[in-house]
Structure 1
Amino acid sequence: MKRKLVNCLEFGHVVSILDGIASRATVNRGLEAAGLDRSLLKGRTAFIPYAAEAVLVETVARAIGDRHLGARVGMKFQYSAYSVYASYVLSAPDLASALERGRRALYLIHPGSEILFRQTETHLVVGRDTKGLSVIGHRHLDEGALFVIAQVGHHFLGQDWVPDWYEIPASPPDSVRELEELAGTKIHANAHVPGVAIRLSDLATVNPAPLQSDVALTLESLAALMNVAPKQTMKEAVVEILQSLMDSGTPDENSVAKLLAIGPRSLQRALRAEGVSFREIRTQVTIGYARTMLAKTDVSLKDVAKKAGYSDERSFRRAFKAATGQSPSLFRASLKTGAAELSQTDQ
């Protein structure tokens, strides 16, 4: 089962934009509502659930009374936040090639999503699919995506370029009028996916300012350069969530299911189909987290157990030994002994 995820490069930039629109306390409440926190902003190259980003923006939008907050975030979004993905797209020789590059490499920033092209007699409509998404706040991300996609057009056609129209899924007439005023162009409602209309005659526009790079960017090299791998299986998605939130406490099965915008039983069935259980994944992640703490800090075993999500030190010791074959104390001692021997060898 594929889940729609968002690269933390985008997530971190969205949070910084929201911080400039609403108070930090309001954004923090939005993060809490989404089951997230600011620890995800610490230079991570990972993914969060698309549904969680949607809940964040929706919560902030409700708090400040802005039903087009997603569009405003999209208008402020800096495409360069996508790192080498942006370089790959914006170094294309022409606009048509750039759009195709963005479509092919989308899995690096939005695993589980897809860029769709629809051609009319005069225009190419570039959209991002939202199939199967009914999560709270997804409308904000739909609107924001329009302006992010349009930034590729701005690079080739100039900052004053405006699409002939945008397309959005069903929306009330008064909301459409507000969005038209904000976007400065026509809005076609009731579309299958949010999309940007680009004239066919503009697709051959030559790149006026190719982004320079010391590395020859290819689709094959991008994943390594970005130090990420797309998370497509349910197990990988669960591991990503647990690892991302370990610093603020290990979420339970119900919380993880909520972040994935599915029910607990659906999560259980998906994991069972992949031959693993939530409990097994959680143990794998918590023991890995504990190993890192034992190796790199002098935190007491009691505190390591607590941070790893165990109710008491005894339960932690039992689980750690079952997983590693060593007690936590012996594991830490063996690391110190090995480090000391290596130091003596280097002298």
Structure 2
Amino acid sequence: MSNALGILPSAAARAAPGKAPRAATPMAFVQAMVAAYAARGLDATAALHLAQITPDSVAHSGARITAAQMEAMSEAAMRELDDEALGCFRRALPWGSYGMLARASLSAPSLGVALKRWCRHHALLTDDVALALHTEGDAARLALTADRQPGALTEFCVVSVLRNVLGLACWLVDSRIPLQGARFPYPEPAHGDAYRLLFDGPAEFDQPHAALHLDARYLALPIRRDEAAMSQMLQRALPLTVLPYRRDRLLVQRVRQALVSQPLNSHNADELAAQLNLSARTLHRQLKEEGASLQTLKDTVRRDRATELLQRTNRPVKQVALAAGFRNEKSFIRAFKGWTGMSPGAWREQG
């Protein structure tokens, strides 16, 4: 069984019950593994057979395979090459290398500390790439720079390393970690659409270096796994990145922040969900799982904003309504009466 982390597509690429698996993984990743075999004078035929990938199909760059095929191919290649990096680096990473890194991060008190440990320890395995975690205010960036370009394997190397660390991060805190963006140091490939499945959030290419951008508040989340969970996970780590991480432990905070910072652009679920890179249906479902509702959060944020403005300023009620996120004064007055039992004007005079 594998104890390395995988670069499989996200849960969106998984087949619904009763439906055939969706082929979403680019054949380019298989080509990279076949190239790793060739570089070591080995034949990838057996691994391709295990993954039910015909040798002829490998040459078709536009072809796609399923997550299960990618898992089978990756595990076979790791064993035959004795390299959990699948040829990405000049020096092979022996079986158990990434499991060792994962265990070293397990005792960290928070995700931020765990990721910093991962970056530091990864440098002990290879100097072909360097990982670093940077934070500035509410923004965090996990950057990858290549000290020595891995040549034709550049894309596969970058995607592998970043998917590994992102998958582990989600698992450690048992939470979806939505990305605000992802950057890559090469032109957009023909299979660029697959990046939306691999990396949540907008992708930019031809950048100076690779990086994942996320809300820094996720770094403060505590580690929710223990040694027993780690041992079990490492038995089947390759599918780690396709687990349906529905729970987003910061979603309520992110929704509240969006409502506060952009009240005029958050009138309905579709507008708000678009800001958070979610569908409206997913937004409602995940909030429900967190014991919250969009309407309740909207009411709380608007009420707090309105009462603050009424209490601390002399703005007309119409301006207060707009600043609190209402489209018009009439709807604001109706909502305010529902909250307090009186009109905004009467509440201001009383208080």
TM-score band by shorter chain is 0.3 to 0.5
Give the TM-score taking structure 1 as reference length. Answer: 0.40
Give the TM-score taking structure 2 as reference length. Answer: 0.40
Q: In proportion to residue count, which structure has more helix?
A: 1
Q: Which has the larger radius of gyration?
A: 2
